[in-house]
Amino acid sequence: MLRLWLYFFIYAVLTGLIVQLVILPYVFPQLHAGNGLLSGRDWVSFHEQAFVMAQRIEQDGWGEFLLRPDGDNAITGVTSFFYTLFGPHPWTLLPLNATVFAIGGVALFSLLKHLNLEYNEALVSILPYLVFPSALLQYGQIHRDVFCTTAVLVILWSWVSLLRADRTLWQICSLIAASTMALLTLSVFRPYLISPFLGLGILLLLWCLARGIGQFFLAQNERVEKKYQMRFLFNVQSITILIILNALTYGISISYLDVRLRPVPIQDIHAKVAVPIFIWRSNQGVRSVGDAQTISAREFSEVPDTKKIEALRLESVDVCQPVVIIKENAFFENLMNRVFIKIAVARAGFTTFAYGTTAATNIDQDVKFCKKEDLIRYIPRALQIALFAPFPSSWFMLERRNSSSIEVFISAVEMSVYYVTLIGLFYWLVSYQRWKPALVIPLGFALGMTLLLGLTVANVGTLYRMRFPYAMIFVCIGLAGILQIVKVKFQPLQVLLRRFIK
């Protein structure tokens, strides 16, 4: 695995340098925003913000360092740290990005190996993660995506590995540590992704509990007692592991990690050396936009006024500003209502604010979720967009304000490969004997997150970038399925395939 990580790392560093220093400035200067950055994207502003902060640190010392200068995006703080040390050049961030990207590649490769693929089959299946041009946006530009992609893949790999029968105590401790580090990374760069993993952990725990109850009763049968006793004990261990994972995930979901730098020596604010100070902060006092539209029934009166509540609901639908009334002793209903509010507010951010009103790649910009029924009716359409956009009909459209013909061509090639690999993905799904946690957990989570992106993100360009880890799960497992079809159904091609991948 170390050798594989090294290959990924070297490839990412070299490719990133070639793109930033050669391809963008000299081959495609029309796409170049300067400093090796692709024009018209968020990383241009991240570079400018990091440059300003690096100047401030140079002038006033490391005490001026902030992980989140704007209160949200940690990539700006990370970039300013590297700019202060090595100069304001985006290529200085490449070794860090390549390191993280390589870890994600090894995690995805390990997930594929859990599908009982041969080493060479898993190696071929992982190639899209490495060679897709969209991967360049992960490690070759300034963005938090590469950290989030790797964190998602590491968590899925570690959780799947923890549910395997061949786990050892050392592996359990190592995998829990890896999962914790990945969750902490998510809490720094995209804290809202912690909640979906908490939901996944609870579902896995409920599944193991239900399975454990069934195994307990089957173990009472003398004819199969020994067989099911062993399964029951294994399941009890899995339940214990999942309880630990859920506790860690919940703890991280209600807190966030902050970092400050303390100059050494402390008295010298202009010292060139600093030590990191990790600060664990509770986010219980931080209210989101969705919380502002959540009202307790007690706010009306001691005895809730049903007419007032209903009038408020009707008014919120008329102006499309949904309000959720939190009821007492209705945990699941309140939970679903909170989820609805967060999704509705997130979608409104992509359709009414900033570039949401002018982006050329918007789809269904006029769709808003005024009530829960609107969201439910939109699910099939959201899934269609999230899984298959950009659609073939848009590949050759010329009216583009933010995309060049080169970018459109690249996305068309990638989507063509993506559509082909869906054949292999379908093969895995119809081969019921292959259904195992190593397949169901990654695919289920990827599908759920892809749907969530389809519900909230109305801009195809942003959707294309944010769904990268989930699309790679589909593509790489699908490619592995195509290799299985070749191996099982076409014996002559199997011989050629083995020669190719040796």
pLDDT value at position 487? 77
Question: For residue 282, how many other CB atoms are within 10 A of its CB?
Answer: 9
Cβ contact 454:383 at 8 Å: yes
Q: For residue 471, give the nearest of 121, 128, 157, 150 by alpha carbon.
A: 128
Cβ contact 312:300 at 8 Å: no
Q: What are 276's strand-pairing partners?
A: 261
Instruction: Measure the CA–CA gap between 233 and 239, rounded to whole angstroms.
Output: 10
pTM of the model: 0.89
Instruction: Give, for all 502 residues of the chain, the pLDDT tens digit.
Output: 889 999 999 999 999 999 999 999 999 898 899 999 998 888 999 999 999 999 999 888 888 899 988 777 899 999 999 999 999 999 999 999 999 999 999 999 999 999 888 899 999 999 999 999 999 999 999 999 999 999 999 999 999 999 998 889 999 999 999 999 999 999 999 988 999 999 999 999 999 998 888 877 766 665 555 666 777 888 889 999 999 999 999 999 988 888 888 887 766 656 667 888 888 877 665 545 555 555 555 554 444 555 555 555 555 655 567 776 777 777 787 788 888 888 888 888 777 754 444 556 778 888 888 888 888 999 999 999 999 988 887 666 544 445 566 777 788 889 999 999 999 998 888 875 667 889 999 999 999 999 999 999 888 888 888 999 999 999 999 999 998 888 776 655 555 555 555 5
Tell me the pairing of strands 324-326 and 255-264.
unpaired
What secondary structure, in 3-state letters, does 320-382 show?
A: CCCCEEECCCCHHHHHHHHHHHHHHHHHHHHHHCHHHHCCCCECCCCCCCCCHHHHHHHHHHH
Cβ contact 169:176 at 8 Å: no
